Amino acid sequence: MLSFPLPLIVALLLGFWAIKALFDRSMSSVLLLLLFFCALQNLIVTLSVHYGLPFFRMIQPMTGAIIPPLAFVAFQDNVLRRIKPVEILPHLTGPILVVLCVAFAPDAIDPALISLFVLYAFLILVPIFQRKQELPRARLDAGELPRVIWLGIGLNLLLSASLDLAIAFALADGQFWLRPILITVSSSVALLGIGGLSLSPSLGRFSSEAYQSENRPAEDVKPDSENARDLAPGSEQNTSQDAELIGRLEGLLMEEKLYLDPDLTLARLARRLSVPAKLLSAAVNRSSGENVSRYINAYRVRHACAALAAGATVTSAMLNSGFNTKSNFNREFLRVTGVTPSDWKAGEQG
């Protein structure tokens, strides 16, 4: 009976997803590159561990070392800020170090790889666990999903580091038979988790119009630190500036109906208002008790309610109100109105 190693199956699955995403243009280039490398690493593990090819056994740690920094760059570019190509260069240090270990210090390969995975896992997880920190480039309709997805990716990096540590202990204890099993689990489970999570529609690429809008130069924007000095929490100046900023925000939303744009992000809103994203986020939080995502999604839900009352179907109301996915729409609709869209429509008709 014909059988295939598990990493090969995972490689084919991730490769198929990557090719599909490439033709669908549904992923950012950095996320797509991460998905391709997860597929490539599983293929290399198959050829190294299961077919015993020496060349692939040699390059396996080198290609594996690319995944943690690539995941971090994808995280930054996807939800925090646009990464310039020159900013990627410092993150080549880790992979280059592993290449040197392969060439000159084989005993240092495992510690170097484990350290790399742990370091970049924490670089992703620390901002994620800072609940007060908004994710400026995350789509607002997705709510907390981008945070949850990147939490999962960060934890998968830690899982991979833990399994690499288990491999090192097994080899030190003479349990060589465990090595192929642990490597298979590490590449299949951890990399499948990273690759699969990166496919979420909530992390999808922006339209060209949204991309151009986000990168349009903004005028008269003070640095965050300068605004922080100007505003002390609870001060009269803080309250008056919050009111002025929220007034401008509401005027912009009502006049241009920006909330109907499914690609809307905190970064784009802040740019349109010529204020730092942190300042806008703090003002919305103090004024409404909500984060920016929930604040904007409330506008979208009210627009959807009006569309449903006018006879629109649930699907058309969702698509015309700035939501990308039905799950996000149903979640936010239930949060704002207390009922599902179908129940709300039935109540209106009844």
The CATH number of whichever domain residue 40 belongs to comes to: 1.20.1070
Q: Are residues 167 and 255 in the same domain?
A: no
- Strand-pairing partners, residue 139, are 265
Question: Would 232 be classed as within a structural domain?
Answer: no
The confidence score (pLDDT) of residue 199 equals 80
Q: Check if the beta carbon of residue 246 is closer than 8 Å to that of residue 296.
A: no
Residue 133: what pLDDT? 64
Same domain, 342 and 276: yes
DSSP character string of 189-213: IIHHHHHHHHT-GGGPPPPHHHHHH
189, part of any domain: yes
Is 314 contained in some domain? yes
Which of 205, 232, 267 represents a domain boundary (last residue)? Answer: 205
Of 211, 265, 204, 209, give the one whose Cα is nearest residue 24: 204
67 and 41 Cβ atoms separated by less than 8 Å: yes
Indicate if 201 and 338 belong to the same structural domain: no
What pLDDT does residue 141 have? 84
Q: Are 63 and 41 in contact (CB under 8 A)?
A: yes
For residue 229, the Cα-to-chain-centroid distance in whole angstroms is 31
Query: pLDDT tens-digit profile of 200-231?
Result: 777 766 554 444 445 554 444 454 444 444 44
Long-range CB contacts (< 8 A, 24+ apart) of 149-153? 149/197, 149/198, 149/200, 149/202, 149/203, 150/75, 150/78, 150/79, 150/124, 151/125, 152/193, 152/197, 153/71, 153/75, 153/124, 153/193, 153/194, 153/197, 153/198
Q: How many domains are contained in the chain?
A: 2
Is 223 contained in some domain?
A: no
Cα-flanking dihedrals φ and ψ of residue 139, to 5°? -60, 135
- What secondary structure does DSSP assign to 202-253, as a single string? GGPPPPHHHHHHHTS--SSPPPHHHHHHH--TT-HHHHHHHHHHHHHHHHHH
Dist CA 138 CA 224 (whole Å):
19
The answer on 26 and 149 residing in a single domain is yes
- 49 Cβ partners below 8 Å, 6+ apart? 5, 7, 57, 179, 180, 183, 184
Listed residues 157, 177, 205: the one ending a domain: 205
- 92: in domain: yes
Walking along the chain (350 residues) 10 residues at a time, the average pLDDT comes out as: 79 91 84 93 92 93 96 92 89 96 94 95 91 79 86 93 87 79 81 84 59 48 46 58 90 91 91 91 89 93 92 91 89 92 80
Residue 222 lies in a domain: no
Domain span holding position 100: 6-205
Residues 171 and 249: their CA atoms lie apart, in Å, by: 60
Residues 90, 186: Cα–Cα separation, whole Å: 26
Q: What is the pLDDT of residue 139?
A: 87
Residues 26 and 132 reside in one and the same domain:
yes
pLDDT of residue 249: 93
Q: Does 25 lie in the same domain as 137?
A: yes
Domain boundary residue, one of 152, 185, 205: 205
Count how many Cα atoms sit within 13 Å of the Cα of residue 141 in the half-sphere of its side chain.
Answer: 28
Q: Alpha-carbon distance 121 to 134, whole Å?
A: 19
Instruction: Provide φ and ψ at 84, rounded to 5°.
Output: -85, 150
Is there a single domain that holds both residue 311 and residue 167?
Answer: no
Structural domain includes residue 221: no
Q: How far is 61 from 63, CA to CA, in rounded Å?
A: 6
149 in the same domain as 282: no
The answer as to whether 234 is a domain residue is no
